[in-house]
Amino acid sequence: MIIGYIIGIFIVACVFLLAMALYLYIGLRGRRPYEDERAYHIRRAMYLFVITFIILIVGVAMGFYKWPIPSALFATWLGLTMRSAISNFFAFLTIIFCKVIQEGDRLKIAKDSNTYVGKLVKTSMFHLVLLEEITPDTYLKGDGKAGRLIHVPNHYIFTGLLVKYGYQKNEVIWDSLEFLLAFKSDYERAVEIAKEIIVRYSDKEAAKRQYQEMRPEYALQKDIKTDPRVFIMPEKEGAHLYVFYIANIVDPNKTLEVRSEISIAIMKKLEEEGIFMANANRK
C-alpha cells in the first residue's frame, strides 16, 4: 500500500511537470510592465503553489495509488521521455528558491569551442535567456558576433561551468593584458612602463569597497591585495609581458574601452623607449 502511495505521488509530480509546460504556454510567467522583480517572483511562486495543490488533490481523488503496476510503468516511461524536462525544471526551482543566479546578472557560458558572455534577461521554466554582449571573448573565443539572444537549458547550472560577475555587490574584476616582446628588449624598463600606466587605470578603491561589503557573506581574507600586477615570462617566441589590473564592470562597454586605452598607452610608450613587439609566427 505504501509503495502504491509513493508511485501515485510520483505520477502526480510528473503530471505537475506537464501542467508547468501549460503554465508557460499560456503566458502566466510574463512580467507585467508595472511589476517590479520582487512582485514578479512572488506572483510566479503563487501560480506554482496553486497548480501543485490542484494536481495533488486531483491525483488523490483519482486514486493513482490503487494501481501500482500500471502506475509504475507509466512513471518509468514518463521519467525516461521527460528526463531533460525534469532536470530543467528542478534546476529552475534551484534558481528561483536558492537564488543561484538572478535576472540582471552577467554570465559567461562555454559551449564546445565558443564562449558566450551576456546579461541574464529572462528565466523561464526550461531555459535561461542571455543578451549577448561585446567582450574580448567575442573574437578570441567566439565567432565574432554579438547582440543575440542565447537560450541556455536550466540544467547547465548542474552540468556546466557557469561564471557569474557584475551582480549585486560585485562591481569589479581582475582583467589582464598580454604583450609579446622581442628577446633583445629591455625587460626591466618594460615592466616599469606597464606599472606606471596601469596604476592610472586600476580601480583599487572600488575593489576595496567591494571586498569590504562581501566579507559578511563570504569567507574572504582581510588583506586582499588590490595593487596592479605585472609579470614577465620568457617563452620560445619571445618574452610575454602580463599586466593585471582592477577593472570596473558596471558598464561593460566602458570596460572594453578602458582595456583598449591601456593597450594603446603601453604599446605607444614601449615604442618610444625602443622596446618592440615580437612576431609570434617567427621561428
User: Which residue did the predictor score with more confidence, 103 or 29?
Assistant: 103
pLDDT of residue 86: 74
Who wins on pLDDT, 7 or 126? 126
267: left (phi over 0), alpha (psi -120 to 50) or beta: alpha
Element of type H or E holding 177: strand 172-181
Mean pLDDT of 178-193: 89
Residue 116 to residue 108: CA distance in whole angstroms:
6
Quick one: pLDDT at residue 34?
Answer: 44
Q: State residue 108's pLDDT score.
A: 84
Question: Is 47 or 134 the better-scoring residue by pLDDT?
Answer: 134
Give residue 35's pLDDT band: very low, low, confident or very high (50, 70, 90). very low
Q: Which three cell numbers stand for residue 224?
A: 586582499
- Pick the more confident residue, 207 or 25: 207
Give the C-alpha distances (Å, rounded to integers) separating 233 from 11, 12, 191, 237, 241.
61, 61, 11, 11, 7
pLDDT > 60? residue 279: yes
Asked if residues 109 and 130 have their Cβ atoms less than 8 Å apart, the reply is: yes
For 120, other C-beta atoms within 10 Å of its C-beta total 21
Model pLDDT for residues 137-163, shown as the tens digit of each residue: 676 666 667 788 888 888 888 887 777
Domains of the chain and CATH, by start: 2-81 (no CATH), 106-165 (no CATH), 172-272 (3.30.70.100)
Q: What is the pLDDT of residue 194?
A: 92
Looking at mean pLDDT, say which of 32-41, 63-72, 192-201, 251-260 comes out highest.
192-201
Query: Higher-confidence residue: 146 or 69?
Result: 146
Q: What whole-number distance in Å separates Cα of residue 60 and Cα of residue 8? A: 8
Split at pLDDT 50, 70, 90, the class of 179 is very high
User: Which residues are bridge partners to 180 per DSSP?
Assistant: 240
The predicted structure's pLDDT at residue 174: 86
pLDDT at 173 exceeding the cut of 50: yes
Find, among 188, 197, 202, the residue nearest to 263 by Cα: 197
Determine the pLDDT at residue 212: 78
DSSP state of 163: E
pLDDT value at position 37? 53
Residue 169 has pLDDT above 90, yes or no: no
- Give the DSSP letter of residue 277: B
The answer on pLDDT for 50 being more than 90 is no
pTM of the model: 0.60
Q: Report, as an integer, the average pLDDT of 12-18.
A: 60
- CA distances to 87, 200, 202, 203, 251 from 223, in Å: 41, 22, 18, 17, 27
